[in-house]
């Protein structure tokens, strides 16, 4: 972590298609959020359980500036952004009355991101859009070492699956997109374990295995850096759609991305500008017990 961070014991829990996040507010007199504390809170049996933590640090500058965020994986590492985590944060801000139907800005990983609540449904479900910005296919944008891939003929050689043809994509965080004509679920574990920590990706990477399922439809399986296999991911959906448009496998425009947890919609322009749209459901609000928080 780049600087000490203290947070409240109160939290908000929500999920986007089964990918769940906890939202805490930063608090000057709160308890310190160490990597070990993150791991314990996210633990499914010994903590609250989640796929990550979003901390609302405050607002930038005077007046209604962007909401400042920091995001953490269940292994305690800090990361740049999460499409689902951002939407869960948006649902929290809506529930708190801090945003309404107008667009608002958040800042995460040094980037400013525009979001908007575009619908509300029964059961505490909100639909939000996230302007993810312009994606990049440049190797340096995902901290990819081109010398390592050059050594392996432009790909990465899996010990059992052989050469892996992939597309590197950055949507504010690194992704490695692999295309298949088979069921993506069959190879995601092997490829995720291999690619997510491959030394060619100097800061690790998220991995998506993608099958084109229609003119504007993709089926993907996901392995997240610092998490493992997940049922859904906003940035993974964006990366899969960007890679598919870039390779001419689907046309630019809106693409439906289907995952184990459900479907998200991603709009990709010819210039690779990306907008993510999908639902979030509030699950509950809670408070860490004083004893548990102190033990952290």
Q: For strands 19-26 and 162-164, give the pairing.
A: unpaired
Q: Which of 48, 85, 252, 244 is nearest to 172 (CA)?
A: 85
- Please say whether the beta carbons of 274 and 257 come within 8 A: no
| Residues 104-117 pLDDT 10s | 999 998 899 999 99
Residues 6+ apart with CB under 8 A from 194: 156, 158, 159, 164
Name the nearest CA neighbour of 71 among 61, 59, 86.
86
153: pLDDT strictly greater than 70: no
The pLDDT value given to residue 151: 65
**Per-residue pLDDT, 148:** 80
> Is the pLDDT confidence value at 85 over 70?
yes
Reported confidence tier of residue 232, pLDDT bands at 50, 70, 90: very high
Q: Would you place residue 122 in the very low, low, confident or very high pLDDT band (cuts 50, 70, 90)?
A: confident
Q: Using an 8 Å Cβ cutoff, are 167 and 137 in contact?
A: yes
Tokens describing residue 208: 């998506």
Q: Give the three-class secondary structure for 112.
A: strand
Can 6-127+281-295 and 139-271 be said to share one CATH topology?
yes
**Tally: H helices and E strands in the chain:** 6, 19
pTM: 0.91
**What pLDDT is stored for residue 104 in this prediction?**
96
The model's confidence at residue 2, banded by pLDDT at 50, 70 and 90, is low
Distance between CA atoms of residues 149 and 168, nearest Å = 12
Reported as a pLDDT band with limits 50, 70 and 90, residue 162 is: confident
SS3 133: strand
CB 16 within 8 A of CB 232: yes
3 state SS of 83: helix
Architecture in CATH of 6-127+281-295? Roll (3.10)
Q: 61-79: per-residue pLDDT in tens? A: 656 779 999 999 999 999 9
β pairing state of 162-164 and 53-59: unpaired
CA distance 105 to 101: 13
> What average pLDDT does the structure give for the chain?
93
Whether residue 258 is predicted with pLDDT greater than 90 in this model: the reply is: yes
The fold of 139-271 is Diaminopimelate Epimerase; Chain A, domain 1 (3.10.310)
Q: What are the domain boundaries of the chain?
A: 6-127+281-295, 139-271
Q: d(Cα 78, Cα 32) in Å, to the nearest integer?
A: 15
Cα separation, 17 vs 121, in Å, equals 15
Query: 150 or 196: which carries more pLDDT confidence?
Result: 196
Point out the least confidently predicted range of 38-42, 58-62, 211-215, 223-227: 58-62
CA 142-145-149 angle, 5° bins: 110
Contact 67, 94 (CB under 8 A): no
């Amino acid at each position: 972590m780049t600087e000490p961070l203290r947070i409240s014991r109160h939290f908000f829990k929500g999920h986007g298609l089964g990918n769940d996040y906890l939202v805490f507010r930063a608090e000057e007199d709160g308890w310190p959020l160490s990597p070990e504390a993150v791991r314990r809170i996210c633990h499914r049996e010994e903590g609250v359980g989640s796929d990550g933590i979003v901390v609302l640090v405050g607002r930038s500058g005077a007046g209604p500036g962007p909401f400042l965020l920091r995001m953490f994986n269940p292994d305690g590492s800090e990361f740049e952004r999460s499409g689902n985590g951002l939407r869960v944060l948006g649902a929290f801000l809506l529930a708190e009355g801090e945003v309404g139907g107008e667009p608002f800005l958040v800042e995460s990983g040094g980037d400013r991101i525009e979001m908007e609540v575009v619908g509300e449904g029964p059961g505490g479900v909100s639909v939000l859009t996230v302007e993810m910005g312009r994606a990049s296919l440049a190797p340096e944008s995902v901290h990819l070492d081109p010398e390592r891939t050059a050594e392996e003929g432009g790909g990465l050689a899996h010990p059992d699956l052989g050469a892996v043809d992939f597309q590197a994509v950055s949507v504010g965080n690194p992704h490695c997109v692999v295309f298949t004509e088979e069921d993506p679920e069959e190879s995601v574990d092997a490829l995720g374990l291999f690619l997510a920590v491959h030394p060619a990706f100097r800061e690790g990477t998220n991995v998506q295995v993608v099958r084109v399922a229609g003119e504007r439809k993709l089926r993907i399986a996901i392995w997240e850096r610092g998490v493992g296999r997940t049922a859904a991911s906003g940035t993974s959906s964006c990366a899969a759609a960007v890679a598919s448009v870039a390779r001419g496998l689907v046309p630019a425009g809106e693409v439906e991305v289907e995952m184990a947890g459900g479907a998200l919609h991603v709009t990709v322009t010819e210039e690779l500008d990306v907008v993510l749209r999908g639902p979030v459901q509030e699950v509950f609000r809670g408070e860490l017990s004083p004893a548990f928080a102190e033990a952290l």
